[in-house]
Structure 1
Amino acid sequence: MNSKSAIKGRGAQLNVRNRFFELSHEMRDDFLEFCNKEGEQVEHNKTEYLNVFPKTIVNKINSPDVGMQYSMNVYQGCEHGCVYCYARNSHEFWGYSAGLDFERKILVKKDAPKLLENLLKKKSWKAQTIVMSGNTDCYQPAENQFEITRACLKVFLKYKHPVGIITKNALILKDLDLLKSLAKDNLIGVSISITSLSEETRRILEPRTASIKKRLETVKILSDNGIPVNVMIAPIIPSINSHEILPLAKAAANNGAISIGHTIVRLNGAIGALFTDWIEKKMPDRANKVLHQIESCHGGTLNESRYGTRMRGEGKIAEQINNLIKLAKRKYFKDKVVQKKLNTTLHESFKTGQLNLFQ
């Protein structure tokens, strides 16, 4: 990709049209050329933090193949910039593009801890694991400034309520004290996403995430402190990281992970166009091969939405990937102790914020 046209530190290289808007705008080549000759900046590349005030913070998940019942997202949009991210489409509901807007306009929910506490105190609420980052990463760079995730973890601990976390950022270690306290009562499970062992791949695929070394160190530190860690090898992208399944699984096991999970990439909604543009610029030598192999995993399309097959794919390439995952589990995790289901028995006694001694 031409370094002059590349948007550094971002995954997506353009804003795609919002499907909910009748009108759209585009950057014409002649305008871009004029700006380049005049030395003018077309648009700034800084991240904006925008406060939003939702009425609720916990969402019920109705998709049968997601693996969680409830999720909460304290930030919308994600500065990590993973070009393949399925969550990009959700930014359109807020009036933005799934492309660069998703990475540069981060919506911040400062009331999240209060909204969470209000829910957990309800008499009608029955404890079930709530997963932070079901959509966007709760430990993206914004957390350094706002510490909303930390405040929410304090609420979960106060009410002895189970919580799951999915992240690809070593920033989670800032909350090690709270995670250790939650782990004492089996109230926490953590999934660390590690997509590649190659820093070169990581930098262009997930530009603002923690390094691979940092992520493996995070798995080890969490594990050494009694916090159960699952490593998500996700998504697996044919001819980009599909050859790394076994070494990734081995590295995860060696650093204390008790299990691995995976998905095969699916480029639903606006992400197909974003990914196609990205790979044609970043990996032009293999763009057609990768795109055709992804299509072969999803019935000839990049946009996969069928429950039951969308996460695991179909066809020979998908079968090979899924078989490699099965082999990795047998080879590196057969002696691992499986994490027990998170504890839902304590919360009822702590709905007032303290143990009821008169029950």
Structure 2
Amino acid sequence: MATDPLFTTREIQLAESPAGLPEPEHFTIAQRPVPVPGSGQVVVRHRYFLVFPGLRTLIGGQADGVPLPRIHVGDTLFGPAVGEVVAAAPGGPLRPGDLVTHLLGWREHALVAAADCTPLAGDVLPDPVAQLSSGSAAYGALTRLAEVRPGDTVFVTGAAGAVGTLAGPVARLLGAARVIGSTRSAAKAERLRAELGYDAVVVPGPRPLDEQLAAAAPDGIDVLLDNVGGEQLTAAVRAARRGARFALVGALAGQLSPDRDGGSAPAEIDTFRLVNQGVSLYGYSGQDHPEVAAEWTKRFGDWLRSGEITFPHVRVQGMDQAPRALQELFEGRHFGTVVVELPPA
């Protein structure tokens, strides 16, 4: 890899393995020369990159079965990013000025194989930052696994996160009659009701989840989109109606626990009820449904333009704030998707 000695760039590296949840002191910002692209490569200057809870699993060392590599001490973090091609090897499919997405975020510039970049069509989504939404997982789970039907009661756990803030509105657009969410704070619960149209929101705490779910869905739930696992999955099984369809998308109960390594989220499930009620339970992986991403992007763009849906997100300004943004994500301080926005070159 050649470098340009006249220009430098910054990237965020893991400096120390955390004993619990990562904090800013576990990361460092390293400065490197901007690379020069070789054959089949481009250099991308980032505009935005995603802050996402899956980094907890990759940093925690329990990435077995995860289709992403583990992050070791000294490695640069990575994840979805949107940026502009600023240098390209001759003869390639991408040219300077092209907007692309790829998976080497958490740095100002990335040297990427052109084949690993997805060019952005300017007329698909009204704002490039929406490319970093996690809505594809919600949409895929609700259409391929849970198959939301008109009149369904849908329960979305972790409803104030990146997936949940889109899952509830999407379920409604797919025909759900009642949409219930869960979140960790009363303030977020109010936002879910007022801004995103959730009919009811349960808040884990002193009041038992079973009691809250019974009040929110007295006839039970038909669909679960689960981002959390743990006790919330346990309660959802007990609230399932006959023939309920459960789609598991995330495992935040494990990833957000300081006592775990991000690679497990145990839950006690009443298998008798699963059998007796004929409940189906599947884990959703985008790898199993490669056609979903393009379908979602098209429908997401249409819904955004029509005003039928919004993209709740928080823009954190600058590389220096990225480690803090990750900590705040784990602490549940943000609503919706969290992205780091980098200043123009």
Shorter-chain TM-score: which interval?
Answer: under 0.3
More strand by share: 2
More helix by share: 1
Q: Tell me the TM-score normalised to structure 2 length.
A: 0.27
Q: Tell me the TM-score normalised to structure 1 length.
A: 0.27
